[in-house]
Amino acid sequence: MNWSNWIRQSHRWIGIVFTLAVATNFVTMAFGEPPMWVVYSPLPPLLLQLLTGLYMFALPYFRDDMHYGG
């Protein structure tokens, strides 16, 4: 598996982790104020999503067989 593929797979799976962290927030909120670590738990996966997402966004512009904007 090459580097870009590894980044894409990471983005997919960290997306699941992020989703579970957000869902955990809603579930715990049903039982009152959630603990602080639950409230902030989506942020580390979200940061990784941002970095891997921006990497994937930039990828096509660095491909030498594609020339956007002439």
Sequence-ordered list of residues with C-beta below 8 angstroms from that of 53, at least 6 positions apart, any chain:
11
Q: How far is the CB of 12 from ligand HEM (least distance, A)?
A: 5
Q: How far is the CB of 37 from ligand HEM (least distance, A)?
A: 19
Residues that bind ligand HEM (CB under 6 A): 8, 11-12, 15, 18-19, 46, 49-50, 53-54, 56-57
Q: 3-state class of 17 per DSSP?
A: helix
CB atoms near residue 58 (< 10 Å)? 9
Start-end of H helices in the chain = 3-29, 36-40, 43-58
Nearer to ligand HEM, 3 or 31 (CB): 3
Q: How far is the CB of 61 from ligand HEM (least distance, A)?
A: 11
